[in-house]
Amino acid sequence: MDFITGEILYVDKPLEWTSFDVVKRLRGVLLHRLHRKKMKVGHAGTLDPLATGVMIVVTGRATKQIETLQAGVKEYVATIKLGATTPSFDLETEIDATYPTSHITRELIEQKLPLFVGRIEQVPPSFSACKVDGKRAYNMARKGHDVQLKPKVLVIDTIELVDFDADEMTLTLRIVCSKGTYIRALARDIGQALDSGGHLTALRRTRVGDVGIADCLTIEQAAELIRTTDIELPDEEKDLDKKD
Protein backbone atom coordinates (compact mmCIF):
# COMPACT_ATOMS: atom_id res chain seq x y z
CA MET A 1 0.00 0.00 0.00
CA ASP A 2 1.15 3.53 -0.71
CA PHE A 3 -0.18 5.79 2.03
CA ILE A 4 1.98 8.71 0.91
CA THR A 5 0.65 8.79 -2.64
CA GLY A 6 -2.76 8.09 -1.14
CA GLU A 7 -4.94 5.31 0.21
CA ILE A 8 -8.61 5.10 1.18
CA LEU A 9 -9.65 3.16 4.28
CA TYR A 10 -13.18 2.26 5.26
CA VAL A 11 -13.70 2.30 9.04
CA ASP A 12 -16.63 1.47 11.32
CA LYS A 13 -16.57 4.46 13.70
CA PRO A 14 -17.12 3.44 17.33
CA LEU A 15 -19.66 5.03 19.66
CA GLU A 16 -18.47 8.17 21.47
CA TRP A 17 -15.47 8.66 19.17
CA THR A 18 -15.41 11.92 17.24
CA SER A 19 -14.48 11.80 13.57
CA PHE A 20 -11.30 13.66 14.54
CA ASP A 21 -10.50 10.93 17.09
CA VAL A 22 -10.53 8.35 14.29
CA VAL A 23 -8.26 10.44 12.07
CA LYS A 24 -5.90 11.23 14.96
CA ARG A 25 -5.60 7.55 15.91
CA LEU A 26 -4.81 6.32 12.40
CA ARG A 27 -2.54 9.27 11.62
CA GLY A 28 -0.52 8.46 14.74
CA VAL A 29 -0.01 4.85 13.64
CA LEU A 30 0.94 5.98 10.14
CA LEU A 31 3.44 8.56 11.35
CA HIS A 32 5.13 5.97 13.56
CA ARG A 33 5.28 3.41 10.75
CA LEU A 34 6.55 5.92 8.19
CA HIS A 35 8.93 7.75 10.58
CA ARG A 36 7.36 11.06 9.72
CA LYS A 37 6.31 14.11 11.73
CA LYS A 38 3.62 15.23 9.31
CA MET A 39 1.19 13.57 6.95
CA LYS A 40 -2.14 14.44 5.38
CA VAL A 41 -4.95 12.30 6.77
CA GLY A 42 -8.61 13.30 6.56
CA HIS A 43 -12.13 11.93 6.41
CA ALA A 44 -15.00 12.19 3.95
CA GLY A 45 -18.07 13.07 6.00
CA THR A 46 -18.36 13.79 9.72
CA LEU A 47 -20.23 11.49 12.09
CA ASP A 48 -21.45 12.75 15.47
CA PRO A 49 -19.82 11.16 18.54
CA LEU A 50 -23.10 9.38 19.39
CA ALA A 51 -23.31 7.85 15.91
CA THR A 52 -21.51 4.77 14.61
CA GLY A 53 -20.86 3.28 11.22
CA VAL A 54 -19.24 3.89 7.85
CA MET A 55 -16.49 6.49 7.83
CA ILE A 56 -14.09 6.98 4.93
CA VAL A 57 -10.52 7.88 5.91
CA VAL A 58 -8.10 9.14 3.26
CA THR A 59 -4.34 9.66 3.30
CA GLY A 60 -1.74 11.57 1.32
CA ARG A 61 -2.81 12.92 -2.03
CA ALA A 62 -6.06 10.95 -1.84
CA THR A 63 -7.30 13.75 0.44
CA LYS A 64 -7.98 15.64 -2.79
CA GLN A 65 -10.85 13.17 -3.38
CA ILE A 66 -12.68 14.08 -0.16
CA GLU A 67 -15.33 16.26 -1.84
CA THR A 68 -16.14 13.51 -4.35
CA LEU A 69 -16.20 10.75 -1.74
CA GLN A 70 -18.47 12.55 0.70
CA ALA A 71 -20.90 13.50 -2.06
CA GLY A 72 -22.14 9.89 -2.21
CA VAL A 73 -25.62 8.98 -1.05
CA LYS A 74 -25.80 8.10 2.65
CA GLU A 75 -27.87 5.38 4.32
CA TYR A 76 -28.68 5.38 8.04
CA VAL A 77 -30.60 3.35 10.58
CA ALA A 78 -32.01 5.73 13.18
CA THR A 79 -33.93 5.23 16.41
CA ILE A 80 -36.17 8.10 17.51
CA LYS A 81 -37.83 8.51 20.91
CA LEU A 82 -41.19 10.25 20.62
CA GLY A 83 -42.84 12.42 23.26
CA ALA A 84 -39.76 14.36 24.37
CA THR A 85 -37.21 16.81 22.97
CA THR A 86 -33.67 17.82 23.83
CA PRO A 87 -31.79 21.00 22.79
CA SER A 88 -29.33 18.96 20.70
CA PHE A 89 -32.08 16.70 19.28
CA ASP A 90 -30.17 13.65 20.58
CA LEU A 91 -28.79 12.28 23.87
CA GLU A 92 -25.97 14.81 24.17
CA THR A 93 -28.28 17.06 26.21
CA GLU A 94 -31.04 16.44 28.75
CA ILE A 95 -34.76 16.38 27.96
CA ASP A 96 -36.15 19.91 27.99
CA ALA A 97 -39.83 19.25 27.21
CA THR A 98 -42.33 16.39 27.04
CA TYR A 99 -45.40 15.98 24.83
CA PRO A 100 -48.46 13.74 24.56
CA THR A 101 -48.08 10.50 22.59
CA SER A 102 -51.37 8.63 23.19
CA HIS A 103 -52.61 9.66 19.75
CA ILE A 104 -49.58 8.27 17.89
CA THR A 105 -50.14 5.03 15.98
CA ARG A 106 -48.18 3.14 13.36
CA GLU A 107 -50.75 4.28 10.80
CA LEU A 108 -50.21 7.95 11.70
CA ILE A 109 -46.44 7.55 11.43
CA GLU A 110 -46.74 5.90 8.00
CA GLN A 111 -49.03 8.74 6.94
CA LYS A 112 -46.55 11.45 7.96
CA LEU A 113 -43.23 9.97 6.79
CA PRO A 114 -43.83 10.65 3.05
CA LEU A 115 -43.84 14.39 3.90
CA PHE A 116 -40.08 14.10 4.34
CA VAL A 117 -39.27 12.24 1.11
CA GLY A 118 -37.93 14.12 -1.89
CA ARG A 119 -36.43 17.59 -2.11
CA ILE A 120 -37.05 19.32 1.22
CA GLU A 121 -35.82 22.22 3.32
CA GLN A 122 -34.31 21.46 6.72
CA VAL A 123 -33.11 23.80 9.46
CA PRO A 124 -29.84 22.36 10.86
CA PRO A 125 -29.55 21.77 14.62
CA SER A 126 -28.06 24.55 16.75
CA PHE A 127 -25.68 21.88 18.04
CA SER A 128 -24.00 21.46 14.65
CA ALA A 129 -20.78 22.41 12.85
CA CYS A 130 -22.56 25.06 10.77
CA LYS A 131 -20.99 28.48 11.05
CA VAL A 132 -22.71 31.67 12.22
CA ASP A 133 -20.63 34.83 11.75
CA GLY A 134 -17.52 32.66 11.50
CA LYS A 135 -18.25 30.72 14.69
CA ARG A 136 -19.30 27.09 15.01
CA ALA A 137 -22.97 26.86 15.97
CA TYR A 138 -22.35 24.12 18.55
CA ASN A 139 -19.86 26.28 20.44
CA MET A 140 -22.41 29.07 20.66
CA ALA A 141 -25.26 26.70 21.60
CA ARG A 142 -23.23 25.08 24.38
CA LYS A 143 -22.65 28.54 25.88
CA GLY A 144 -26.39 29.13 25.98
CA HIS A 145 -26.58 31.54 23.01
CA ASP A 146 -29.66 31.59 20.79
CA VAL A 147 -28.48 30.28 17.41
CA GLN A 148 -30.53 31.04 14.31
CA LEU A 149 -29.68 28.90 11.28
CA LYS A 150 -31.14 29.17 7.79
CA PRO A 151 -32.92 26.23 6.12
CA LYS A 152 -30.89 24.11 3.71
CA VAL A 153 -32.20 22.23 0.69
CA LEU A 154 -31.48 18.49 0.67
CA VAL A 155 -32.85 15.29 -0.83
CA ILE A 156 -34.22 12.30 1.05
CA ASP A 157 -34.69 9.35 -1.30
CA THR A 158 -36.18 6.85 1.13
CA ILE A 159 -37.63 6.71 4.64
CA GLU A 160 -38.66 3.19 5.62
CA LEU A 161 -40.37 2.42 8.92
CA VAL A 162 -38.43 -0.60 10.17
CA ASP A 163 -40.07 -0.85 13.59
CA PHE A 164 -42.46 0.97 15.92
CA ASP A 165 -42.64 0.13 19.62
CA ALA A 166 -45.88 1.67 20.89
CA ASP A 167 -45.07 0.84 24.51
CA GLU A 168 -41.68 2.56 24.48
CA MET A 169 -42.87 5.08 21.88
CA THR A 170 -39.76 4.57 19.75
CA LEU A 171 -39.51 4.15 16.02
CA THR A 172 -36.66 2.81 13.90
CA LEU A 173 -36.16 4.18 10.41
CA ARG A 174 -33.97 3.33 7.43
CA ILE A 175 -33.09 6.57 5.69
CA VAL A 176 -31.38 7.09 2.33
CA CYS A 177 -30.42 10.72 1.80
CA SER A 178 -28.05 13.26 0.31
CA LYS A 179 -24.98 14.85 1.83
CA GLY A 180 -25.80 17.48 4.46
CA THR A 181 -28.85 15.77 5.94
CA TYR A 182 -29.05 16.03 9.72
CA ILE A 183 -30.84 12.96 11.04
CA ARG A 184 -31.17 14.70 14.44
CA ALA A 185 -33.10 17.50 12.74
CA LEU A 186 -35.23 14.91 10.98
CA ALA A 187 -36.09 13.40 14.40
CA ARG A 188 -37.17 16.86 15.55
CA ASP A 189 -39.30 17.46 12.44
CA ILE A 190 -40.96 14.03 12.52
CA GLY A 191 -41.88 14.60 16.17
CA GLN A 192 -43.47 17.93 15.26
CA ALA A 193 -45.34 16.39 12.32
CA LEU A 194 -46.83 13.87 14.76
CA ASP A 195 -48.04 16.75 17.00
CA SER A 196 -45.57 15.65 19.63
CA GLY A 197 -41.79 15.81 20.10
CA GLY A 198 -38.90 13.60 19.14
CA HIS A 199 -35.17 13.15 19.61
CA LEU A 200 -32.56 10.75 18.29
CA THR A 201 -31.45 7.95 20.62
CA ALA A 202 -29.29 5.88 18.23
CA LEU A 203 -27.79 6.36 14.77
CA ARG A 204 -25.76 4.05 12.56
CA ARG A 205 -24.50 5.02 9.11
CA THR A 206 -24.72 1.86 7.07
CA ARG A 207 -23.60 3.11 3.67
CA VAL A 208 -21.73 5.95 1.94
CA GLY A 209 -21.97 5.67 -1.83
CA ASP A 210 -21.07 2.06 -2.65
CA VAL A 211 -19.33 1.46 0.69
CA GLY A 212 -21.28 -0.54 3.28
CA ILE A 213 -20.63 -1.75 6.82
CA ALA A 214 -19.38 -5.09 5.47
CA ASP A 215 -16.55 -3.22 3.72
CA CYS A 216 -15.36 -1.54 6.92
CA LEU A 217 -12.58 -2.34 9.38
CA THR A 218 -12.66 -1.66 13.09
CA ILE A 219 -10.25 1.01 14.32
CA GLU A 220 -7.86 -1.64 15.62
CA GLN A 221 -8.06 -3.66 12.41
CA ALA A 222 -7.19 -0.54 10.42
CA ALA A 223 -4.31 0.25 12.78
CA GLU A 224 -3.01 -3.34 12.49
CA LEU A 225 -3.26 -3.16 8.70
CA ILE A 226 -1.06 -0.05 8.74
CA ARG A 227 1.45 -1.69 11.10
CA THR A 228 1.81 -4.96 9.17
CA THR A 229 1.04 -4.40 5.49
CA ASP A 230 3.76 -3.92 2.90
CA ILE A 231 4.13 -0.18 2.36
CA GLU A 232 5.62 1.60 -0.62
CA LEU A 233 8.23 4.04 0.70
CA PRO A 234 10.52 6.61 -0.93
CA ASP A 235 14.06 5.22 -1.23
CA GLU A 236 15.42 7.44 1.56
CA GLU A 237 12.85 6.06 4.01
CA LYS A 238 13.23 2.34 3.24
CA ASP A 239 16.30 1.89 5.44
CA LEU A 240 14.51 3.51 8.38
CA ASP A 241 11.57 1.16 7.98
CA LYS A 242 13.90 -1.86 8.12
CA LYS A 243 15.24 -0.66 11.49
CA ASP A 244 11.75 -0.27 13.01
Cα-based angle 47, 48, 49 (whole degrees, multiple of 5) = 115
The contacts of residue 130 (CB under 8 Å, 6+ apart) are 124, 136, 137, 149
Name which of 179, 239, 238 is nearest 207 in CA terms.
179
Q: How far apart are CA 156 and CA 125, in angstroms?
A: 17
Q: Are strands 131-132 and 84-85 parallel, antiparallel or unpaired?
A: unpaired
Cα-based angle 174, 177, 180 (whole degrees, multiple of 5) = 125
Residue 14 DSSP class: P
Q: Which residues are marked as active site?
A: 48
Name which of 105, 107, 100, 110 is nearest 166 in CA terms.
105
The contacts of residue 171 (CB under 8 Å, 6+ apart) are 79, 80, 82, 109, 161, 163, 164, 165
The contacts of residue 135 (CB under 8 Å, 6+ apart) are none
Backbone angles phi, psi at 191, to 5 degrees: -60, -45
